[in-house]
Structure 1
Amino acid sequence: MVGQRQFDEKQTLDRVLETFWNKGYGATSMQDLATATGVQRGSLYNAYRDKETLFLRAFQGYADQFLADAVDALAHPDAEQALRRFFDFTITSMTAGTPTRGCLTTKTATDERADGERIQAALRSLLDNLERVLQERLSLEDATARLVIPPAEAARVVITMTRGTVVMERVYQDPDRLRGTAGSLISALLAPVPVRSGPGT
């Protein structure tokens, strides 16, 4: 039928995402995407108009899943463990693959050919949403009782730290080093749990 897509859109967008993630936005051509997806360039243009729109469609699915996984990681009832799980999730994501694939958001943010306003807005939206869910988790009583700075500030520091973690991963290729640094930040943000004195002490 005219106007009906003759390909599996989810599978196509998954392959589009993988291609952008591996090659970077600027280095990826429509022909690269056609080859990766097995969908002719003409069909991709008809369905999505241009490379930027195709990237945005693929990125939206990635962002939704990334945010959902972050919320799940932060769901631990202990604030310290919630932050450790959050960092473990982000580090595992960026160190997956051989060679490691890095962080799609940061890779795109530093790509001079990905400077379109729609792309920048999509990147800001994901980071803002991550900061929001972190702030919500750090605003719970178990966290506020230990935080040395307000939850909003702590959330922004953590998000900024994850961006720096991406760079250090590129340089050192050492997940244990990244987790160690994340642990140091958590220790700096959370005061030690007070030791409760027993009867007669």
Structure 2
Amino acid sequence: MAGRRQFDEEQVLGAAERLFRAQGYGATSMLDLSRATGVQRGSLYNAFGDKEHVFLKTFARYRTRFLEAAETALATPDLRAGLSAFLRIAVANMTAGPARGCLSTRLATEGAGAGAKVCEEVRELLDALDALLLSAFSRPGTGCALPPDHAARLVVAFTRGLAVMERVHGDAGQLQAMGDDLVALLFPNPPA
């Protein structure tokens, strides 16, 4: 039937995410997306528009999934345990599958070359993560050694650095050990 999609949008966006993770935004073309998704370029254009729109749809899925996982981990009453869980999620996100790395950090390192809208989406994701962390660190009795806003900013910056270390070393165990070190620094007094 004319005008009817002949593909599963979730599968296509999943394949597009893997490609953007592997190649970045700037190095990915519509032809690359067509090959990776198995969908003709014309069908991609009809369904999503240009590459930027394919990316924005892909990134929206990624953002929702990442922030929901972070919020769930940080909601635990014991913030030390919640932060550890969040960092395990971040490491797993970076080291999963053949297209390793953090999608948002990969795009952030492309800078203005990725375009204003893409950069804005990355900034909004990091701001939303900062807000989640600030809310968690602002709860009474967390036992954190830093003021809530400092701790939140530090964790956001740490996760971006962790993504770079993943690209360099690719060692999930080493990344998790770094995360454990951060938790120990932020919460120097072990739970009773």
Q: TM-score, normalised by structure 1?
A: 0.87
Q: Percent identity?
A: 45
Q: Encode CA deviations 1:153-188: one digit per residue, 9 max, x unaligned.
A: 111100000111111122222222222222222222
Matches within 5 A, 1:49-198: 49-98=49-98, 101-111=100-110, 114-143=113-142, 146-193=143-190
Aligned 8 A contact 1:78 1:142 in 2: no
**Structure 1 Cα separation of the partners of residues 177 and 103 of structure 2:** 23
1:194, distance to aligned residue in structure 2 (A)? 7.9
1:14, distance to aligned residue in structure 2 (A)? 1.6
**Structure 1 Cα separation of the partners of residues 64 and 106 of structure 2:** 18
When the two structures are aligned, how many residues end up with a matched partner? 192
Amino acid paired to 1:118: K
Q: Structure 1: which 5+ runs fail to align?
A: 196-201
* Residues 1:194 and 1:68: Cα distance change in structure 2 (over 3 Å): closer
SS of the residue corresponding to residue 12 of structure 1 reads helix
In structure 2, the partner of 1:199 is none
SS of the residue corresponding to residue 76 of structure 1 reads coil
1:70, distance to aligned residue in structure 2 (A)? 0.9
Aligned 8 A contact 1:7 1:39 in 2: yes
SS of the residue corresponding to residue 56 of structure 1 reads helix
Aligned 8 A contact 2:22 2:100 in 1: yes
Aligned 8 A contact 2:111 2:119 in 1: no
* Residues 1:89 and 1:80: Cα distance change in structure 2 (over 3 Å): same
Q: TM-score, normalised by structure 2?
A: 0.90
**Structure 1 Cα separation of the partners of residues 157 and 81 of structure 2:** 19
Amino acid paired to 1:15: A
